[in-house]
């Protein structure tokens, strides 16, 4: 039910063209997964996602577990049916959300106890429980419970946490039963290279269907993100999909593809969309700015999305300032179309001209940034 | 460029099947016009509107005049191009919005002076100015400036106001130049029959392209709305389109079609959608209710809209409670699909079986109301 094939390796970089086969269809990699936290990619319908070429989306176990509750989704036929999405879904473990709760959670060897952000009720997530929830949701790819180590962290803390994450990974694997669902391990280790390499080496001995790298994009410098990401990728099993969690900006994705990662997720394109920051072939554009008041041009004249084919910057700026929901809808559609197009371009480059040539050409084009960056983004 | 033909008159009622030809295509009547206050029907894109069969939408002159400003829209090629909508648009005069400002506006013979709800700036709308704005917007149907008389109002006030509305209508007609744009008069008169009949009789002598009835649905009892609406319709010219402004609930529309009205607009289906109140073939449904937590059924199993074909009540309830924008998007699509379907059914009934039979059959079916009414709606 689940397989991953590296179709082609790039000559000059570690980029790879892959094909992930899930119970719900094929995912061509490198691929970006839009984030549907509560079972909806904010402001988009499933048919919008299909239209932009999305083959896999992400949903958050933590949020769905708390609301509407896993038994509701299970009784209604599983997550795909519940949210009306026929293609692949990856569910995260909820670990990242729980660890973001700060003082409201407590970690023990058993698992993590936390208070719901919705009603304050107390819950215990164990590695086994998290596998069980995801099995009931019926996602195509499940993730193990891990601790996302805060940045900065002492080496002592990072080591203890990473060791526990590895023990949790073994427990997760033992608890997993669904043959139509893949289970991915998560590599932690903070910003410490020896912890990262030790973590991968131990996890790689276990029969996981794929490997994720977590704990990056948590406030460290981009250079650190790139360095640790690239370093860690070098240890990951060649024949398994590699997922860089929570990353990131277009330039980060390109760097990571070149380092050998296959899967990505990030709230950046969808959150930025709602803030009026749009990605274009010439950099970011802040649609809120006065200069767009009468601008008849589309957001990106190189873009073929529904938004760019039909609406001017002037109209989008108007919708944003008037507080119209349609702004978020059109902006999200555009930003995710851009991200999917970027991944499609990566795949084409690996297949045809070589990834390095394409990436350096892209960098020279992306220099011109219109409308400036949104500091809120 | 503008014509209206009554294709068939019903046998037992005053309902009529009509065909309105505008510069932007045909509108089959009776027709419901979704409200796009600020140049967007909230939560829907133009292609969503096309999908549900919308042939004409309404936009608000008052809002567009204040933001983004009429010169922006004019310079960008007119309202249709600005909002990406190729079919017909009716613009209201802004009168209703201005008169809703209460203490922030002052009426004189010249027009109405008001303060912007956005920035407090002072503006004067005269009948001539309102025509000019709508000519610059380039809508297919423009409305004259009128005063929407508050309810209740003394007969003295209602008479003075209605007389002024009639003088304003004459000034509007003189100011109107665009041959590709229709201009509709607005009948006022409050809840006073003799004022209503006098107003129609005077306006009917003038060469307006259509006649609207305003000042109803402003807080009076449904029985008064129906009585005054029906009474006034009896005086309206047979060969011109008749537009009942701001009405209303499905039962009001059916009554009004039977009285001989052709066009309708109301924020009810779109506003209710955002509040979680959905119209169905069996009455209203409040999607927020706990009883729908695990309900696998669509909102209305007799409905063919995208929402009902793909999503359960349980998912929609979840989206609503989770604060997901997709709830508003799917609910609005459904409610407007319902309203357009209702108008399509009216037209079919007039064409085929007779309006009265159909309407009484519908009333007997509509008795079962699920999920109760939303008191907020």
In tens, the pLDDT along B98-116 reads: 888 877 889 999 999 999 9
Is the per-residue pLDDT at A210 higher than 60? yes
Chain B contact for A67 (CB, 8 A cutoff): yes
User: Is residue B368 one of the residues assigned to a domain?
Assistant: no
Q: Is residue A164 part of a domain?
A: yes
Query: Which pLDDT value is given to residue A97?
Result: 86
Q: B366 falls in which pLDDT band (50, 70, 90)?
A: low
A156 and A247 inside one domain = yes
Please report, for the domain that includes residue A16, its CATH number.
3.20.20.105
Domain that holds residue A57: 3-266
pLDDT for the residue numbered B370 = 44
Same domain, A293 and A254: no
- How buried is residue A352: exposed, middle or buried, by Cβ count under 10 Å (0-12/13-18/19+)? exposed
Task: Report CA dihedral (A100, A105, A106, A107) to the nearest 10 degrees.
Answer: -40
Which site among A45, A60, A69, A295 would you substitute to test the B interface, given the most B Cβ atoms closer than 10 Å to its Cβ?
A: A45
HSE of A373, CA atoms in CB hemisphere, 13 A: 7
3-state secondary structure of B185: strand
Quote the mean pLDDT of chain B. Answer: 95
**What distance lies between CA B98 and its chain's CA centroid?**
17
Cross-chain residue pair A46–B310, CB shorter than 8 Å:
yes
Arithmetic mean of pLDDT, A339-364: 94
Mean pLDDT of B185-202: 98
* B293 with A67: Cβ contact below 8 A: no
List helix spans (H) across A290-354.
306-310, 313-321, 325-351
Q: Judge if B260 and B277 occupy the same domain.
A: no
- B301 belongs to a structural domain: yes
> What's the rounded mean pLDDT across residues B140-155?
96
- Could you give the CA distance from residue B95 to residue B184 in angstroms, rounded to a whole number? 14
What's the domain count of chain A? 2
Q: Is B315 on the interface with A (CB under 8 A)?
A: yes
Residues B212 and B305 in one domain: no
Pairing of strands A112-115, A31-33: unpaired
Tell whether A369 is covered by a domain. Answer: no
All residues at 6 or more sequence positions from B173 whose CB lies less than 8 Å from its CB, including other chains: B144, B183, B185, B206, B207, B208
Contacts of B303 (CB under 8 A, 6+ apart): B280, B281, B334, B337, B338, B341
Residue B314 backbone dihedrals phi, psi, to 5 degrees: -60, -45
Query: Between chains, do B67 and A321 touch, taking CB under 8 Å as contact?
Result: yes
**Same-domain check for residues B241 and B324:** no
Which pLDDT value is given to residue A102? 78
Cα–Cα dist B208/B202, whole Å: 11
| B211 Cα to chain A: minimum distance (Å) | 31
Give me the interface pTM, i.e. the ipTM.
Answer: 0.96
A285-307 pLDDT, tens digit per residue, is 999 999 999 999 999 999 999 99
pLDDT at B33 > cutoff 90: yes
**Alpha-carbon distance values, A85 to A34, A139, A332, B212 (Å):** 13, 11, 18, 45
Question: Which residues from chain A sit within 8 angstroms of residue B38, using beta carbons?
Answer: 318-319, 322, 324
Using the predicted structure, report yes or no on whether residue A220 has a pLDDT greater than 90.
yes
Note every long-range contact of B6-12, with CB atoms under 8 Å and residues 24 or more positions apart, other chains counting.
B6/B238, B6/B239, B8/B350, B8/B351, B10/B258, B10/B350, B10/B354, B10/B355, B10/B356, B11/B354, B12/B354, B12/B355, B12/B356
Do the domain assignments include residue B328?
A: yes
Of the partner residues B44, B68, B314, the one whose CB lies closest to the CB of residue A293: B68
Instruction: Say if the Cβ atoms of B84 and A310 lie within 8 Å.
Output: yes
Kindly list the catalytic residues of B: 92, 265
- Final residue belonging to a domain, choices A251, A266, A281: A266
Give residue-wise pLDDT tens across range A40-73.
999 999 999 999 999 999 999 999 999 999 999 9
Task: Look at residues A266, A298, A323 and tell me which one is the last residue of a structural domain.
Answer: A266
Helices (H), A106-183: 127-137, 155-175
Q: Longest C-alpha distance within chain B, in Å? A: 61
Angle of helix B155-175 versus helix B127-137 axis, rounded to 10? 50
For residues A341 and A259, state if they share a domain. no
pTM of the prediction? 0.96
- State how far the Cα of B139 lies from the Cα of A113, in Å rounded to an integer: 60
The secondary structure of residue B78, as a DSSP letter, is -
CB B259, CB B14: distance < 8 Å: yes
Q: Distance between CA atoms of A291 and A317, rounded to whole angstroms?
A: 10
Question: Which of B315, B331, B333 best tests the A interface by mutation, with the highest count of A CBs <10 A?
Answer: B315
DSSP codes, B63-74: HHHHTT-HHHHH
Residues A253 and A281 in one domain: no
> How high is the pLDDT of residue B266?
97
Kindly tell me if the per-residue pLDDT of A323 is higher than 50.
yes
One domain, residues B197 and B219: yes
Does some domain include residue A166?
Answer: yes
Using the Cβ of A50 and the Cβ atoms of chain B, whether some distance falls under 8 Å is answered with no
What's residue A375's pLDDT?
37
As a whole-number percent, the residues of chain B with pLDDT over 70 amount to 97
Count the neighbouring beta carbons within 10 Å of the beta carbon of residue B289: 16
Domain contains A326: yes
Is the torsion defined by CA of B60, B63, B67, B69 positive or negative? positive
pLDDT above 70 coverage of chain A, percent: 97
Give the residue numbers of A annotated as catalytic, written as ranges: 92, 265
A372 domain-assigned: no
Residues B205 and B100 in one domain: yes
Question: How confident is the model over A90-139, as pLDDT tens digits?
Answer: 999 988 888 888 778 899 999 999 999 899 999 999 999 999 999 999 99
Mutate to test the interface with B, among A39, A68, A74 (most CBs of B within 10 A): A68
Q: Tens digit of pLDDT for each residue in B74-89? A: 999 999 999 999 999 9
What's the rounded mean pLDDT across residues B209-226?
96
Which one of B266, B301, B320 terminates a domain?
B266
Which of A62-71, A98-107, B38-47, B233-242 has the weakest average pLDDT?
A98-107
Is residue A244's pLDDT more than 80?
yes
Beta-bridge mates of residue B263: B31, B243
Rounded to the nearest 10 degrees, what angle do helices B250-259 and B325-351 cross at? 30
A166-203 as b/e: b if 16+ CB within 10 A: bebbebbbebbebeebbbbbbbbbbbbeebbbbbbebb
Per-residue pLDDT at B374 exceeds 70 = no
Q: Give the up-direction half-sphere exposure of residue A225: CA atoms within 13 A in the CB hemisphere.
A: 21
Same domain? For B141 and B288 the reply is no
Residue from the list A47, A72, A310 with its beta carbon closest to the beta carbon of B294: A72
Q: Can you tell me the mean pLDDT for B274-303?
A: 97
Asked if the model's pLDDT at residue A321 lies above 50, the reply is yes
Residue A366 pLDDT: 62
Q: Is B268 on the interface with A (CB under 8 A)?
A: no
CB A14, CB A350: distance < 8 Å: no
Claim to verify: residue B83 and residue B230 sit in the same structural domain: yes
Geometric angle at alpha carbon A300, from A295 and A301, rounded to 5°: 90
pLDDT band at B297 (very low <50, low <70, confident <90, very high): very high
Model confidence band, residue B372 (pLDDT cutoffs 50, 70, 90): very low
d(CA A271, nearest CA chain B) in Å = 13
Q: Could you say which residues from 80 to 99 on chain B have a Cβ atom under 8 Å away from some Cβ of chain A?
A: 82-84
Cα–Cα distance between B374 and A268 in angstroms, integer? 36
Average pLDDT of the residues in B134-147: 98
Same domain, B261 and B159: yes
């Amino acid at each position: 039910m689940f397989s991953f094939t590296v179709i082609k390796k790039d000559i000059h970089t570690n980029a790879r063209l892959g094909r992930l086969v899930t119970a719900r269809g094929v995912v061509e990699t490198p691929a970006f997964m839009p984030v549907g936290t509560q079972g909806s990619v904010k402001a988009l319908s499933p048919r919008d996602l299909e239209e932009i070429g999305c083959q896999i989306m992400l949903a958050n176990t933590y949020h769905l577990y708390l609301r509407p509750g896993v038994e509701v989704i299970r009784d209604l036929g599983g997550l795909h049916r519940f949210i009306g999405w026929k293609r692949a879904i990856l569910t995260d473990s909820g670990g990242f959300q729980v660890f973001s709760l700060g003082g409201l959670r407590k970690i023990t060897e058993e698992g993590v106890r936390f208070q719901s952000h919705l009603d304050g009720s107390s819950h215990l997530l164990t590695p086994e429980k998290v596998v069980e929830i995801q099995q009931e949701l019926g996602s195509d790819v499940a993730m193990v419970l891990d601790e996302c180590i805060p940045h900065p962290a002492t080496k002592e803390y990072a080591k203890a946490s990473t060791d526990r994450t590895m023990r949790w990974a073994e427990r997760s694997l033992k608890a997993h039963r669904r043959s139509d669902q893949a289970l991915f391990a998560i590599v932690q280790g903070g910003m410490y290279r020896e912890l990262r390499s030790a973590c991968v080496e131990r996890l790689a001995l276990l029969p996981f269907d794929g490997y994720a790298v977590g704990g990056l994009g948590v406030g460290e410098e981009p250079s650190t993100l790139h360095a640790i990401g690239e370093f860690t990728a070098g240890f990951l099993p060649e024949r398994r999909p590699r997922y860089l969690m929570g990353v990131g900006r277009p330039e980060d994705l390109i760097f990571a593809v070149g380092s050998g990662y296959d899967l990505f997720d990030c709230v950046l394109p969808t959150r930025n969309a709602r803030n009026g920051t749009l990605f274009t072939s010439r950099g970011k554009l802040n649609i809120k700015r006065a200069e767009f008041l009468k601008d008849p041009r589309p957001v990106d004249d190189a873009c073929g999305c529904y938004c760019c084919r039909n609406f001017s910057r002037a109209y989008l700026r108007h919708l944003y300032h008037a507080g119209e929901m349609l702004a978020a809808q059109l902006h999200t559609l555009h930003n995710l179309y851009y991200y999917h197009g970027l991944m499609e371009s990566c795949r084409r480059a690996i297949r045809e001209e070589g990834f390095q040539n394409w990436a350096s050409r892209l960098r020279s084009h992306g220099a011109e940034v219109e409308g400036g960056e949104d500091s809120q983004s």
